[in-house]
Structure 1
């Protein structure tokens, strides 16, 4: 029977595989969206089954790890964190799928000028950068690296919050571009959600490494400051 350390190392590698797969999906969906590339968008859609299959495998193996080894302390925190990280990564993959699906089904090319007005490319690049940072934090078991994504997420939130007023103003000036603006608005919402999922992963890494629970702590802090 596989021992605890070997099994844990194997699970960690599966987690890295999930990170790599979901990053490829998100990166391809960016290129497909910006370049209005139907073939690349279709590739993202077809790769969704691989994400789902790996998601199920990791979930099953986490359950097996708990059943076989009855882990405690850091080993228990690791497997509990990995299950949640895996869930969040699968959701990142879902959003990459949704963004690619817009290209296939909506078929509305978006002009560079409109993307610039909404800081769309910058937002997408920031989300990919966050995913890179959090993957390194997971691989190196670096809680400090994980904390860096919280600052980057603020940019995504800012662009998301500004998008409605920018679109409202621009549509009044140029109503003929409303389809493009509505598509961008929908895409921005998905990217903002990707940022939220990555911050969830950061919280799980910090929980695993430092036994510190960050969930809801920001909300409590904001209530105190009011």
Structure 2
């Protein structure tokens, strides 16, 4: 009887862990769509899509609160240890980054409304398309790496963040040159600057999620580490 009871407790604990993981992945799917839609809105000037991104931000916020509550309940009731504890902590950290990605997607949508039907909307179009496509892939790659416990996939996301940072720096130079040549464009160019900054920040948050994959699998906290340091930690047995 005691064995059956213990098995029940263990089975319920595993179900709780699986639940927070699945809820996190569901939140990740919504956030990924939010970012993709925000990028589509700024590149196409579609204000209806931008409005929808802004409207759905509340859904992302509610999911973060609910999942964080679930994680807290597991910590209090189950007092997990070792890899189980890492799973709960990693999920809690990831949903925080996902919520912030949702915020950045909303910022892109808001600034899209500011530059709609304006010639400055064509500024840095190539950079926004490239960076936008890359950060959407990074979010997808980070979530997939988490689901599969794939350290190599997580490191690929960290590498891609460097490419996004380089494109961001290049786009900033283009914007500065444009504003110097036509000071009247400064107001609208600043809106584009905030959009580019939001996209770059999304890449940073996707990198953060990937760092949690390494923590989950290897038990090593690699936050604030360089790419080389992360690779070294990931290759340790």
Give the CA RMSD over aligned residues.
Answer: 2.1
SS of residue matched to 1:215: coil
- Which of 76, 95, 99 is 1:67 aligned to? 76
Provide, for residues 163-217 of structure 1, a one-character-per-residue CA deviation record: whole Å limited to 9, x for no partner. Answer: 3322222233344544443222111111111111111111111101111111233
Pairing 1:24–2:33 present: yes
Cα deviation, residue 104, structure 1: 2.9
Residue 134 (structure 1) aligns with: 142
CA distance in 2, matches of 1:28, 1:145: 24
CA distance in 1, matches of 2:193, 2:119: 11
Provide, for residues 102-133 of structure 1, a one-character-per-residue CA deviation record: whole Å limited to 9, x for no partner. Answer: 123454545675324x6221011111111111
User: Rg: which structure is higher?
Assistant: 2
- Which of 205, 218, 225 is 1:210 aligned to? 218
- Which of 13, 22, 33 is 1:4 aligned to? 13
CA distance in 2, matches of 1:166, 1:150: 25
SS of residue matched to 1:71: coil
Aligned residues: 220
Pairing 1:82–2:91 present: yes
Cα deviation, residue 35, structure 1: 1.2
CA distance in 1, matches of 2:175, 2:20: 44
Decide whether the 8 Å contact of 2:127 with 2:168 is kept in 1. Answer: no
Pairing 1:50–2:74 present: no
CA distance in 2, matches of 1:170, 1:137: 40
Decide whether the 8 Å contact of 1:36 with 1:109 is kept in 2. Answer: no
Normalised by the length of structure 2, the TM-score is 0.85
Cα deviation, residue 138, structure 1: 1.4
CA distance in 1, matches of 2:187, 2:45: 15
CA distance in 1, matches of 2:103, 2:58: 11
Pairing 1:172–2:180 present: yes
Between 138-147 and 106-115, report the one with greater CA deviation. Answer: 106-115
Long gaps (5+) in structure 1: 222-226
- Which of 128, 131, 149 is 1:120 aligned to? 128
CA distance in 1, matches of 2:69, 2:119: 41
Between 178-187 and 35-44, report the one with greater CA deviation. Answer: 178-187
Between 88-97 and 182-191, report the one with greater CA deviation. Answer: 182-191
Cα deviation, residue 61, structure 1: 0.2
Decide whether the 8 Å contact of 2:124 with 2:175 is kept in 1. Answer: no
Q: 1:105 to 1:166 in 2, by over 3 A?
A: closer
Decide whether the 8 Å contact of 1:41 with 1:100 is kept in 2. Answer: yes
